[in-house]
Amino acid sequence: MSDDPRLVERDQSFMQICLDLAQQAEGRTHPNPMVGALVVDAHGEIVGRGFHKKSGTPHAEVYAFEEAGERAKEGTLYVSLEPCCHFGKTPPCSQSVTESGVKRVVAAMVDPNPKVAGQGLAQIRQAGIDVTVGVLQKEAEWLNRGFISRITKNRPWVCLKMALTLDGRIADRTGSSRWVTNAESRKKVHQLRNKFDAVLIGGNTLKLDDPELTVRDIPGARNPVRVAIDSRLELKPDSRFCTVETGARTFLLTLQESMHSLSSTYPQAVELVVLPATNANVNINSALQFLAEQGVNSVLCEGGGKLAGSLMQAGLVDEVYWVVATKFLGDREAISALQLDSSVSLADAWQLKSVTTEMLAGDIWIHGTL
């Protein structure tokens, strides 16, 4: 990158606009990443903008070049991810770049997809175009943390959201959790669902709460892929999970032995998936690998203490929203937020990083990564 502080500042300013553009499609691009692009002409004026809206639609660079037209010549392309160099549902963007007439390309990060992995930028360099990589790279990697996880780890990025009391309980001893947190917090959960590719719950939450797992009261929202792990296949076909039409795929993950006791038929929209078992339960690694195979980049886990504990113990939680209501239950039989199969010493306790907190109408939202 340049040593000129003015150019560095300018590059960062334009790249931030790219990231903001890309984020407009959050939760809508899977299996693709979110990408934003700007074309800046030779006089430093933005003449083209674009972002990838969803899989199958043109990539960000295409929209930006279409708007810029001839004004792209001798200009600069800013893009939040390396331009692709392979044919998929759309032609390679590296070709569009080399034909555009720009003299410089600034990319936030290299595409981790093995089909690209630096080859797109190499083609652009070979065409005699100056290339700068790494401008706001950390911010770009955070934006596409789900895509990066699926490509590099073969599993989606997992965000665990738990709503609990000050004494760490997610429900009373009867299993009732309505409502631990306040109405404003519940509204924010819908905002989270709108940003993640999929929502995941376990069998107990499925039975006790009979949730829809939809996004409500947000203009222009879309519903995430809905996923439930039901190892015993106890879900009733007339449940809201089965009967509510969402426009998104619905997966019910179970075991082969549970299929033998299936006494009724689930609606056609519910896709039954048989996965390997671990200790008579669906193997959680296999569940996430299956979702990766479906192109799911990010998962919001809204399950109970058992599923949360399984994910934590398996080291599969990347991000956490801990929503603490300012109330106590004070009942040792009330349900704990994390139900682990083995004890954990204080020395081995999980420590959140990059922690932020927010007060929302009396509830405390704690956010961090693991």
- CA atoms of 93 and 42, how far apart (whole Å): 21
Residues 274, 255 contacting (CB under 8 angstroms): yes
- CA atoms of 284 and 299, how far apart (whole Å): 13
Please classify residue 301 by burial: count the beta carbons closer than 10 Å to its beta carbon, then call 0-12 exposed, 13-18 middle and 19+ buried.
Answer: buried
* Residue from 9, 61, 139, 302 carrying the catalytic annotation: 61
Amino acid 164 reads L
Residue 252 pairs with which residues in a beta bridge?
228, 272
Helices marked H in 295-352: 305-313
DSSP 54: S
Interhelix angle 93-100/60-68, rounded to 10 degrees, is 20
Closest CA to 76 of 10, 6, 126: 10
* Number of Cα atoms under 13 Å in the Cβ half of residue 243: 7
Number of H-type helices and E-type strands within the chain = 12, 18
61 is known as an active-site residue: yes
Please classify residue 62 by burial: count the beta carbons closer than 10 Å to its beta carbon, then call 0-12 exposed, 13-18 middle and 19+ buried.
Answer: middle
- In the chain, the N- to C-terminal Cα span, in Å, equals 31
Taking CA atoms, 157 is separated from 6, 153, 317, 340, in Å, by 36, 9, 8, 21
- CA atoms of 65 and 60, how far apart (whole Å): 9
* Residues with catalytic roles: 61
